[in-house]
Amino acid sequence: MFDFFKSKKTQEATKLESPGVKEQAWRSQKLKTSLKENLTTLHFILADCSDVVFREFNFAQLPDIRLALIYVDGLADKIQVSNFVMRTLSLEVPPALPKEYKISKAQAFDFIRDRGLCIHQIDETDSLARLIDAIMSGDTVLLVDGHARAIINSARGWEARSIQDSKTDVVVRGPRESFVETLRTNTSLLRRRIKNPALKIEVRPIGQITRTDVAVIYIKGVVYPGLVTEVKERLSRIEIDAVLESGYLEELIDDNPLSPFCTINHTDRVDKVAAMLLEGRAAILTDGSPYVLTVPTLFNEIIQSPEDYYQRYFFYSLIRLIRLIALIFFVTAPAIYVALLTFHQEMLPTALLLSIAGQREAVPFPTIVEVLLMDLTFETLREAGIRMPQPVGQAVSIVGAIVIGDASVRAGLVSPATVIAVALTGIASFTLCYAGTLSLRLIRFPLTMIAAFTGLFGLITSLIILITHLASLRSFGIPFLYPVMPLSPAELKDVVVRAPWWAMLTRPHLLGKENLHRMKAGLKPKPPEKRK
């Protein structure tokens, strides 16, 4: 029963063996000289992979130089492969050569690599592992008989989703593109925004089975010093069979695995990631997922939206404040409602109290049950709204609104005031950055319950503990609540309000200390005669 009193040693997990590595003894092997042998090995490794195509042919119609093309059907661009590899090597090379020019078997490899291929990017290797990885990621491999090396032709081309609007971070004004599932497309999207060699993209495969490409992206000279090393080190620690989504990585490199709060944010907006990089952060792209991790993450990102920076700052400073209030409301509204109604009735204005008391007169549940019931219903509805097949979604919201909002009040099961309190909480949550609200949605329930048991006192103590917890979190070395705690008053210009661009002279001090100044001072537009 008291498991947690036992020493940890007994529970120590057996050291994880690298999954999938056992049967892959060939990973360390090198290519052989003989094409036949190589092909046999490859056939063995790729046995029962019906999508792998082996194509043998002769180089330049020369019977003694056998070539073999290996690629995955569907991943490689078939037109490129047939036109610019096979057609060139077998048909177009002989007429282009002087008659007396003889290509010996020994020269063949260098000749093909240097003169024979019309492929934009090639690479060569002698490692079987690299070869297999290349085939599996869509490259086309060319083996030449008599050479223990292979040419990797980057002629990838597969069906992919086209670039679409962001689904989670919606803006009225601002770029619409969002990331897609293909890593290369994603990096190109970023490169198009930051046309600078300082934008570094370092790719590494993670996942022993899936071999997922993971890219660490940062801007050299801007990124927070030491951050890239730390990110790479944390990534290299990972030994896992599969990485299907960036969420896998998120949990594996998190600073605070036991905290309900996620200290790594994710987004699928290109402009947001670019802005993050420009603030001195690093981004982690995962092949196969449009969601990009940005580190380090600060808590204040929950009230920031890319649109804040594109629209007029007066109004969007107000929106920031509204979001801040919404954040407080979202976490505490049901709890405060319960505490006030069950413990501190003296703190409500008389008229309001009488009105609520009148509504509650016939309600059969205690306030806490009423609130939790409504809150759970709300969460259920929200979940249903997400999971429902699109055509039915409409029906859910209608049913939800009618059944929950109206019928339950009419039936006298809940009081209208409770419906309002819970509905406001729900609405408030939608003003915030979706990724950040998940853990807060969870926190709301214990807070409400504590408020129901010990009133405002318990609520405030719990909030203090919550804030203490948040204040003790760090995301890649940066305090999670920065710049509020530790307080850096100048930084609040981008937290509680959004300062105009001509006043946001510096990057966040802690993150961007490598290259603090964003712009020249004194860019505030002036009438012509005052300009110098």
Partner 1 sequence: MKQKLFLILFLLFITLNISGCWSKKELNEIAIILGTGVDYTKDNKIQLTYQLARPAAFGGGGMGGGPGGGAAMNQNITWVISATGDTVFDAQDKLSQQVSRHLYLGHNVVLILGERLCRHGVKDVNNFFHRQPLSRGTVWVMATPQEAKKVLESHSELQITSAQAVGFLARFRTGYAVKFRDFSQDLASRGTDPVLTRVELKNQGVAQGPGLEKVHHHQEIVITGTAIFKGDKLIGWLDSRETQGLRCIKGEMHEMRITVPSPIYPDKNISLKVIAGNTKIEPAYQKGEIKFYLTVRAEVDLIEQQDEEDFTQPEMIKIVENKAAAEIRQHIKTTLDKVQGEYKVDSFGFGEAFHCKHKREWSMLKNRWDEEFTNAQVYLTVKVKLRDTGMQGRRASLKK
Partner 2 sequence: MGKILEGGKIDARQTLYLLVTMIYATLILFVPQNTVAHAQQDAWLSFLVAFAGGVLISLVVINLSLRFPGQTLFEYLPRILGRFPGKIIGFFYVWLFIHLCALVDREYCSTIVAAFMPETPLVVFLIHGTIMFAYLAYSGLEVLARLSQLFLPLNAGLLTILFVLATPEMKVVNILPVFDTSLLSLAKSTLTPLSWFGEIITLAVIIPYLAEQKNVYRLTIKALFFVLVLIELSTVGVLLIFGPALTGSYLFPVLNGTKMINIANFFERLEIIPIVIWITSGTVKATLFFWAATLGSAQLLGLKDYHPLILPLAVIVTSLSYLLHPNIIDLLNFLTEDFPFYALTFEFLIPFLLLIIVLIKETGKK
What are the residues binding partner 1 (CB under 8 A)?
A: 4-5, 258, 341-343, 345-346, 350, 353-363, 366-367, 409-410, 412, 415-416, 449-450, 452-455, 458
Minimum Å gap between C-beta 406 and partner 1 is 9
| The entry of partner 1, partner 2, none that residue 472 binds, CB within 5 to 8 Å by partner kind | partner 2
Q: Does 471 bind partner 2 (CB under 8 A)?
A: yes
Given a contact cutoff of 8 angstroms between Cβ atoms, the answer to whether 140 and 122 are in contact is no
Q: Coil, helix or strand for 334?
A: helix
Instruction: Tell me the two tokens of residue 210.
Output: 């899936």
Q: Does 357 bind partner 2 (CB under 8 A)?
A: no
Residue holding tokens 């007066």? 314
Which range in 155-163, 182-190, 288-296, 448-456 contacts partner 2 by CB under 8 A?
448-456
Distance CA(227)–CA(279), nearest Å, equals 13
Peptide bond into 483 cis (omega under 30): yes
Q: Does 349 bind partner 2 (CB under 8 A)?
A: yes
Minimum Å gap between C-beta 417 and partner 2 is 17
Minimum Å gap between C-beta 261 and partner 2 is 15
Q: Does 397 bind partner 2 (CB under 8 A)?
A: no
Q: Does 328 bind partner 2 (CB under 8 A)?
A: no
CA distances from 232 to 72, 157, 327, 476, 512 (A): 30, 29, 33, 12, 19
Residue-level length of the chain: 532
| Sole binder of partner 2 in the list 58, 168, 454, 515 (CB under 8 A) | 454
Q: Does 244 bind partner 2 (CB under 8 A)?
A: no
DSSP string, 42-66: HHHHTTT-TTEEEEEEEETTEEEEE
Distance CA(109)–CA(139), nearest Å, equals 18
Q: Coil, helix or strand for 469?
A: helix
Q: Does 376 bind partner 2 (CB under 8 A)?
A: no
285 in the Ramachandran plot: left (φ > 0), alpha (ψ -120 to 50) or beta? beta
Minimum Å gap between C-beta 419 and partner 2 is 22
- Judged by beta carbon, residue 49 or residue 464, the one nearer partner 2 is 464
Q: At what angle are helices 367-387 and 434-472 packed, to 10 degrees?
A: 130
Contacts (CB under 8 A) with partner 2, residues 487-506:
487
User: What is the identity of the amino acid at 55?
Assistant: R
Peptide bond into 95 cis (omega under 30): no
Which range in 275-283, 321-329, 385-393, 469-477 contacts partner 2 by CB under 8 A?
469-477
Given a contact cutoff of 8 angstroms between Cβ atoms, the answer to whether 362 and 412 are in contact is yes
Minimum Å gap between C-beta 361 and partner 1 is 4
Strand partners, 205: 213
Q: Does 329 bind partner 2 (CB under 8 A)?
A: no
Q: What are phi and psi of 195, to 5 degrees?
A: -90, 75
Q: Does 466 bind partner 2 (CB under 8 A)?
A: no
| Sole binder of partner 2 in the list 176, 457, 513, 526 (CB under 8 A) | 457
CA distances from 151 to 91, 115, 119, 127, 278 (A): 19, 13, 11, 11, 38
Minimum Å gap between C-beta 200 and partner 1 is 37
Instruction: Tell me the two tokens of residue 354.
Output: 């009488």
Minimum Å gap between C-beta 473 and partner 1 is 14
C-beta contacts of 519-522 below 8 A and 24+ residues apart: none
- Judged by beta carbon, residue 189 or residue 451, the one nearer partner 1 is 451
| The entry of partner 2, partner 1, none that residue 40 binds, CB within 5 to 8 Å by partner kind | none
Which range in 146-154, 176-184, 264-272, 460-468 contacts partner 2 by CB under 8 A?
460-468
Distance of CA 457 to the CA centre of its chain: 39
- Judged by beta carbon, residue 73 or residue 251, the one nearer partner 1 is 251
Distance CA(454)–CA(442), nearest Å, equals 20
| Sole binder of partner 2 in the list 479, 498, 507, 510 (CB under 8 A) | 479
Q: Does 296 bind partner 2 (CB under 8 A)?
A: no
- Judged by beta carbon, residue 107 or residue 345, the one nearer partner 1 is 345
Q: Coil, helix or strand for 139?
A: coil
- Judged by beta carbon, residue 426 or residue 455, the one nearer partner 1 is 455
DSSP string, 415-461: -HHHHHHHHHHHHHHHTS-HHHHHHHHHHHHHHHHHHHHHHHHHHHH
Minimum Å gap between C-beta 357 and partner 1 is 4
Q: Does 467 bind partner 2 (CB under 8 A)?
A: yes
| The entry of partner 1, partner 2, none that residue 359 binds, CB within 5 to 8 Å by partner kind | partner 1
- Judged by beta carbon, residue 258 or residue 351, the one nearer partner 2 is 351
Q: What are phi and psi of 284, to 5 degrees?
A: -120, 115
Contacts (CB under 8 A) with partner 2, residues 272-291:
none
| The entry of partner 2, partner 1, none that residue 295 binds, CB within 5 to 8 Å by partner kind | none
Q: Does 468 bind partner 2 (CB under 8 A)?
A: yes
Q: At what angle are helices 313-342 and 416-430 packed, to 10 degrees?
A: 150
Residues lying near partner 2 in the complex (CB under 8 A) are found at: 343-344, 346-349, 351, 454-458, 460-461, 464-465, 467-469, 471-472, 479, 481, 484-487
